[in-house]
Each structure stands twice: as C-alpha cells, then as structure tokens.
Chains A and B, each alone.
Chain A
Amino acid sequence: NAGVMQNPRHLVRRRGQEARLRCSPMKGHSHVYWYRQLPEEGLKFMVYLQKENIIDESGMPKERFSAEFPKEGPSILRIQQVVRGDSAAYFCASSPPSSADEQFFGPGTRLTVL
C-alpha cells in the first residue's frame, strides 16, 4: 500500500506565477489535510477536505490560495500570483473516515519563490 504521495517534491516559481501542488492520499483514505511549514516554524493547518467538499478552511489565507479534492484524482493546493512569503514546505496528510487520529503525511513539496 503506497503512502501519501506529493508532487512535485520541489517547485521553483517566480513572483506572480501560479503554483499547483498535488497530493494523492493513501488508498481508502477520503480525508485530506494541508499544512504549511514556514522556515524555522512548526506546521500550520491550512485546510481539511473530503471528496468534493471543503470542510474546514480556517487556516487558508483569504486571497490567492484555493484547494480542491475532486471525485477522481489528487487533491490540489493552488497558489495564484505567488510572493516570496509563500516560500515554505507544504505537507499533505490523509486519514480514513473511521479514524481522525490516524493521519499519514506525505514527504512535502518545497516551494521556492524567486
């Protein structure tokens, strides 16, 4: 059973470009969480999604950031018009419907904005 997969592992964008980060949850997991880790800080919750639904987006910046988890395919975290302050590691985690405590993390995508 493959773990949580994220791609790309490293992403470089220039200011003003768009960044798309993908997360494929573990098989059988329908719950996805996105976290951001800024340099020298812990992980901060961004958004929680179930298939086709955003359940809690209380940690998402109000502008430029969006997330989706379609019926088919991976979850996508999209950042429009990136700025240098968006440079961070973005981690995705998934869990089965039956156990919120059983969260499995992907290896992360490290975004660098030039």
Chain B
Amino acid sequence: GDSVTQMEGPVTLSEEAFLTINCTYTATGYPSLFWYVQYPGEGLQLLLKATKADDKGSNKGFEATYRKETTSFHLEKGSVQVSDSAVYFCALREGGTSYGKLTFGQGTILTVHP
C-alpha cells in the first residue's frame, strides 16, 4: 500500500537558518502530495500541495517540488522564524480517487530558537 517516510526529528535551528525536511513516498499511480503543519494544541493546517510531477507548491516562504523520479517532496524554507516552530507532516492522496483519504508520514518536530 501507499506510504510516506519523513526524516527523523526533532529538528532544531536558529532563526534565519535554512530548513529542509525530507519526505519520500511509495505509491501506485500519480498521487497528490501535501505538507501540513500542526501548531501546539491545534489541528492540522494545509501548508502547501502539488498535484502532478514537477509542480512546486509554495506558501508563507515554504516550498516543495513534486519529484516523481526520486519519489520525493522535500519541504524547504530559506529563512525560518521562531513562529515556524511546529510539527510538519508530509502526506499523499492516492491518484485516481475521488475523495480525500490521506496517508501521512510520522511528522517532524521543528524548533526554532531566537
């Protein structure tokens, strides 16, 4: 079945550092790919998405490119802020489905220090 693997955390960075969180997937067909963010005590929020190969999703300075050849969707940000501290989840939706059942990675905790 489909699966998502994220880099092990937690990740600790200083403010303005460069961020990469790796995500790779296994899926049949052509899935849609997502990054969600979860702030303490809150539900998950969609951060960005990409629905086909070579698409780049972007939002709030975060970017991720759908790489079919490497089955990856790595999250990047050029300069992190303390407010980016949260848990980040990579997820996929199986291609060809008409509804939104998501398969998630295990999550990566990011802590940004001033």
Interface residues of A (CB under 8 A from B): 3-4, 6, 31, 33, 35, 40-45, 48, 55-56, 91, 93, 95, 100-108
Chain A residue at smallest Cβ distance from B102: A45
* Interface size of B as a range: 20 to 34
- The answer to whether B14 has its CB under 8 Å from any CB of chain A is no
Contacts A42-B89, A42-B105, A42-B106 given; does A101 touch B43 at CB 8 Å: no
Chain B residue at smallest Cβ distance from A110: B41
- The answer to whether B27 has its CB under 8 Å from any CB of chain A is no
Contacts A33-B101, A48-B99, A56-B99 given; does A105 touch B93 at CB 8 Å: no
B51: chain A residues within 8 A (beta carbon)? 101
The complex places the Cα of A4 from the Cα of B32 at a distance, in Å, of 23
- Main secondary structure on chain A at its contact with chain B? strand
The complex places the Cα of A101 from the Cα of B36 at a distance, in Å, of 12
Query: Are B104 and A43 closer than 8 Å at their CB atoms?
Result: yes
Chain B residue at smallest Cβ distance from A99: B100
Query: Are B93 and A101 closer than 8 Å at their CB atoms?
Result: yes
B96 to A: closest C-beta gap in Å: 11
Which of A6, A100, A106 has the most CB atoms of chain B within a 10 A radius of its CB? A100
